[in-house]
Chains A and B, each alone.
Chain A
């Protein structure tokens, strides 16, 4: 069974500082990996996803993530954090898709709450 671990429950950074959110996964095959962001009172928005190919993935809002198979990690990074980035961030792993239409997908981590100081 797949699983996702986000070791940091809460991270606080100053505006303009760099950011790295950690994500480790457990999956028996090549995973599909996702980062979602959830602002207060809002649904989840996809930041980026990894399927195959280049292990450094660029996403929206200036975020990027790097897939490291040897470390089973998919850490999210941003060089300079903005106050509007304060939110909760979820890493998720998806099972391989079969074209018969398996609906099961997306196991989520417990989330990392990001606070941005002015």
Chain B
């Protein structure tokens, strides 16, 4: 069982509201990620971090922002939510590569399904 948690699981909010999606992991992983997933579509990387005070934008442009003040916590914020932000947001973390042990595994949270009305 992976120790990575996202809250809330579901969120319905009105346009213009500020929201923060929480993601926490207890595995001590340095690398953390946010993916956006629309129904029937692939996962797109929107933010990643490889340690405290390190954040980068991913492949898909997003109006959201992230912060990484603590290793275990990687929240995602939307300053002013819009209907176009309606999607599922998945947080993940991974262990570092272990050389001959091969590719590290990414652990995913259960996701936050966001609906902006």
Partner-B contacts on A (CB < 8 A): 4, 9, 32, 34, 36, 41-46, 49-52, 90, 94, 97, 99, 101-111, 113
Contact = CB atoms under 8 A, between A and B. Distances in A.
Q: Which 7 A-B pairs have the closest CB atoms?
A: A51-B102, A32-B103, A103-B50, A97-B97, A43-B108, A44-B108, A108-B43
Contacts of B92: 44, 106
| Band of interface residues on B | 35 or more
Given A110-B41, A111-B42, A45 B108 contact: yes
Q: Is the interface of A mostly helix, strand, loop or mixed?
A: loop
A105 B106 contact: yes
9 contacts: A41-B9, A43-B109, A49-B105, A50-B103, A107-B45, A107-B59, A110-B40, A110-B42, A111-B42
A101 B31 CA distance: 8
B102 A108 contact: no
Contacts of A104: 45, 48, 58
Interface in B45-77: 45, 48-51, 56, 58-59
Contacts of A105: 94, 106
